[in-house]
Amino acid sequence: MHFGSPTSGSWRTWQKSPSNAKLRSPATTGRHGLGTPCPPRHHPHSAFCFNSNTMRYAIIGTGHVGQALAKAFARQGIEVAFASRRSPEALTPVAKAIGPTIIPHSLPDALQADVVLLAMPFKAYQEVAQATESWPGKTVIDVTNAYGISSEELGNRPSSVVLAEALPGANLVKAFNHLPAAVLAEDPRANGMRRVLFLSGDEASAIATVATLVTRLGFVPINLGKLAEGGLLVQARGNSWGPLIFQDLFQQAK
């Protein structure tokens, strides 16, 4: 399958140039570059145009896994917004220590990204869901594990299905959750091999978007299928882990 090769967008340019605020406003900027107008009402809830080949990424959660993901983005020089409940200023030291492409943002600003990686505790999902109305059309990567949350609390559904229902119009893909943070932080390419990541989701186009990202980060994506089918292999709940969680597999690099 051909997944394309989007390049990262420019958070810094869009967010941090108050002197160009008029030219760079949502109505005139989009992702085409300075001064290129977005089609009117191109996307009902977003400041950005969706018809260029650039992608903007955000990591929500700046703890163990959030930082491990940020290291993977930094290794490839891919710009990514980095956010939690704390202010961007409070996140600056840790972001700076990881690399120059890790850009602290407020939570609502970060949630304007095209692809959002959720790396906060599962129980925070409702709070994050309510932090923006821009979910329609977005690709959301669920990195959470609902370990310790009972099946009854989840309505006997996979945790990713519960999360997806809280994000109206978003296309959710579960990924990056099956490995410990310290392993995720390592370079996935070693000794002629590449580390495997499992993807599952109900929307083929979102799986393709995430597969492209995963490949750019140096991993090998393996599609498990729908959340409630193959995706069950990487779901945690109650006191159980899906059978593929903690399976650290490698594939020969091509």
Question: Which residue ranges make up the site for ligand NAP (CB under 6 A)?
Answer: 60-66, 84-86, 107, 119-122, 124, 127-128, 143-145, 177, 180-181
Minimum separation from the CB atom of position 2 to ligand NAP (A): 29
Spatial separation of the C-alpha atoms in residues 89 and 24, rounded to whole Å: 23
Q: Which is nearer to ligand NAP, 73 or 122 (CB)?
A: 122
Which ranges of 135-199 would DSSP assign to H, the alpha helix? 159-166, 181-184
User: Edge to edge, what strands does the sheet with 146-147 contain?
Assistant: 146-147, 236-238, 240-241
Contact 166, 50 (CB under 8 A): no
Q: Which is nearer to ligand NAP, 55 or 119 (CB)?
A: 119
Minimum separation from the CB atom of position 138 to ligand NAP (A): 16
Spatial separation of the C-alpha atoms in residues 82 and 59, rounded to whole Å: 5
Report which DSSP code applies to 39.
Answer: P
Q: Which is nearer to ligand NAP, 38 or 117 (CB)?
A: 117
**116: Cα separation from own chain's centroid:** 3
Minimum separation from the CB atom of position 64 to ligand NAP (A): 4
Minimum separation from the CB atom of position 197 to ligand NAP (A): 11
Which residue of this chain has its Cβ atom nearest to ligand NAP in the complex? 63
Minimum separation from the CB atom of position 166 to ligand NAP (A): 12
Q: Which is nearer to ligand NAP, 10 or 177 (CB)?
A: 177
Minimum separation from the CB atom of position 132 to ligand NAP (A): 11
Minimum separation from the CB atom of position 178 to ligand NAP (A): 7
Q: Going along 76-211, which residue ranges are E strands?
A: 80-83, 102-104, 115-118, 139-142, 146-147, 171-174, 189-190, 193-201
Q: Which is nearer to ligand NAP, 207 or 245 (CB)?
A: 245
Q: Going along 21-168, which residue ranges are E strands?
A: 54-55, 57-60, 80-83, 102-104, 115-118, 139-142, 146-147
Q: Which is nearer to ligand NAP, 124 or 249 (CB)?
A: 124
Q: Which is nearer to ligand NAP, 84 or 209 (CB)?
A: 84
Determine how many CB atoms are found less than 10 A away from the CB of residue 254: 6
Per the structure block, which two tokens stand in for 145? 């594990």
